[in-house]
Chain A
Amino acid sequence: MSLAGYVLGLADDALVLAQRTSEWTARAPTLEEDVALANIALDLLGQARYLLTYAGAEEGAGRDEDALAYRRPSSEFRNVHLVELPNGDFGRTIARLLVFSAYRYELLTRLADSADPTLAAVAAKGVKEVAYHRDHAAQWTVRLGAGTTESRRRMGAGLADVWPYTPELFTEESAALVAAGVAVDPVSLSEPWLAFVSGVLTSAGLVVPDVAAAPGGGRRGVHTDAMGPLLDELQSLHRAHPGAVW
């Protein structure tokens, strides 16, 4: 895989989860949580912008961040399925944020030592933000899991909903970029990720769900039914007014 393709995967994970998370704006359970989720979405959007800009430059076809975000069809998006899943209720939203930010934390920690200086800089900056997201999700997981019967039921159900999509995070890709010290081998992230997540689940009185893995394929541009409507909304303005700027 090309460097541009690898960077696009990193960018699209952040962009698509930023879009999903921002759907909570003005709808979160409390005002404080509304602000928290909006801030998390903004951090991810910021990471996505730097990565999209870099992917466009590496590709060398003259595409900037807007061209990549607004003018690509679903089949050219390289994000994992986990980030495109509908939010569901707050329990599922938190379950997704927990497993995703724990994964991205492990990834960015290692990517900060990448032989590619741009990736290293974006990662070193982003990991500080993702550490905060991970902590926020972990606190809610414990609060909901160890809370009322209903909050515990919903947190457990949300976790079972997102868990089948976690193996895709650790699927091998871009062996040449890993060998060159540019990319991080996703397989190596699985163990530290599980150690962190299962620690949080233990504190929450929850267990790792025993569910089969979903097929995956996001990194190859194969997406779930949820991706089309997400892009319809994300790209609606540019489809109606191509090249619009403000």
Chain B
Amino acid sequence: MSAPWDVVATVPDPELPAVTIADLGILRSVSIVDGRVVVTVTPTYSGCPALAEITADVRRALTDAGYADAEVHTVLAPAWTTDWITEAGRRKLAEYGIAPPGAVSPAPSVSLPLSVRCPQCGSPDTRESSRFSGTPCRALWVCRACREPFEHMKAL
């Protein structure tokens, strides 16, 4: 039987199936309490509609691996940050066509726009076309070099 962390860590994000919930840093902890697996997850944004799905997917993965009656809890603190996305997660996002976020600025009141690299052609000559996109965590960008639109996961 695989260790419970290894089972849960492979659960893909329902809206970004190329990355797992461990890659995104939304899987906070996996422990065993009185013989039951207890998993803690945190939402990316308060309104993340995928959280119910993630909870169900985690429970299903554990049941399939032989861990019945798993508990899945949601925590809000500490608040999720894109700094928790792993190196593997960043690489997978870029391969999937989503430009990964830069480091979160230490002073959030200072807006310092850094270039976002086009995940298609790699050019840094890109511009933001909309601050919001298909999910709350993404923004819409366009590459000036290859002219392709792409999504960027915004630093949070």
Do A35 and B156 touch (CB < 8 A)?
no
Within 8 A of A (CB), among B98-120: 108, 111
Q: Specify which of A33, A45, A124, A126 is in contact with B78 (CB 8 Å cutoff).
A: A124
Q: Which of B18-26, B40-48, B89-97 contacts A (4 or more CB under 8 A)?
A: B40-48
Identify the closest chain A residue to B51 (Cβ): A46
Do A36 and B77 touch (CB < 8 A)?
no
Interface of A, helix, strand, loop or mixed by DSSP: helix
Q: Is residue A121 contacting chain B, with contact meaning CB distance below 8 A? A: yes
Q: Is residue A243 contacting chain B, with contact meaning CB distance below 8 A? A: no
Do A32 and B132 touch (CB < 8 A)?
yes
Do B45 and A124 touch (CB < 8 A)?
no
Report B-chain residues with C-beta under 8 Å of the C-beta of A49.
46-47
Do A35 and B108 touch (CB < 8 A)?
no
Q: Which of B3-11, B31-39, B60-68, B133-141 contacts A (4 or more CB under 8 A)?
A: B133-141
Bound: A35/B111 CA distance, A? 22
Report A-chain residues with C-beta under 8 Å of the C-beta of B76.
50, 121-122, 124-125
Would you give the shortest CB distance from B111 to chain A, in whole angstroms?
8
Report A-chain residues with C-beta under 8 Å of the C-beta of B86.
none
Bound: A50/B133 CA distance, A? 24
Q: Which of A74-82, A128-136, A227-235 contacts B (4 or more CB under 8 A)?
A: A128-136
Q: Specify which of B45, B108, B130 is in contact with A129 (CB 8 Å cutoff).
A: B45
Would you give the shortest CB distance from B149 to chain A, in whole angstroms?
11
Interface residues on B, range: 20 to 34
Report B-chain residues with C-beta under 8 Å of the C-beta of A44.
47
Q: Is residue B123 contacting chain A, with contact meaning CB distance below 8 A? A: no
Report A-chain residues with C-beta under 8 Å of the C-beta of B134.
35
Q: Is residue A43 contacting chain B, with contact meaning CB distance below 8 A? A: yes
Bound: A40/B47 CA distance, A? 9
Chain A residue total in the interface (Cβ 8 A): 28
Supposing A46-B43, A46-B48, A125-B46 touch, asked if A117 and B132 sit within 8 A by C-beta, the answer is: no
Q: Is residue A42 contacting chain B, with contact meaning CB distance below 8 A? A: yes
Bound: A128/B48 CA distance, A? 14
Bound: A106/B133 CA distance, A? 26
Do A120 and B132 touch (CB < 8 A)?
no
Q: Is residue A171 contacting chain B, with contact meaning CB distance below 8 A? A: no
Report A-chain residues with C-beta under 8 Å of the C-beta of B131.
36, 132, 135-136
Do B46 and A46 touch (CB < 8 A)?
yes
Do A126 and B132 touch (CB < 8 A)?
no
Report B-chain residues with C-beta under 8 Å of the C-beta of A46.
43, 45-48
Residues on A close to B: CB < 8 A? 32-33, 35-36, 38-40, 42-47, 49-50, 117, 120-122, 124-126, 128-129, 131-132, 135-136
6 sampled A-B residue pairs with Cβ under 8 A: A43-B136, A50-B46, A121-B77, A124-B76, A125-B79, A136-B132
Given contacts A32-B132, A117-B77, A129-B45, 14 further A-B contacts (CB under 8 A): A35-B134, A39-B132, A42-B136, A43-B46, A43-B136, A45-B47, A122-B46, A122-B76, A125-B76, A125-B80, A126-B46, A128-B79, A128-B108, A131-B108
